[in-house]
Amino acid sequence: MYDFSNHCFVCGLEVDSDSSRKHKQFNLPVCDDCFGTDREKLAVSNLLEGMADGFVCGCI
């Protein structure tokens, strides 16, 4: 797994974390090649889908 602090969370290429773009929802770096592409949307979808894995709502 990539270190998301200095790698594009979409393709995994190393980026300069100070000057790279950030995805607004996750505050993760995105390289210029992936920014705004369908690949970025798919990566966001995968991250959102995986956020609840293994968690059960305790309100019921």
pLDDT at 53: 59
Q: What are 17-59's pLDDT values in tens digits?
A: 677 888 888 888 999 999 999 999 999 988 887 666 566 666 6
Residue 11 burial (C-beta neighbours within 10 Å; 0-12, 13-18, 19+): middle
pLDDT at 56: 63
* Cα separations in angstroms, 37 against 34, 42, 53: 6, 9, 26
State the pTM of this model. Answer: 0.72
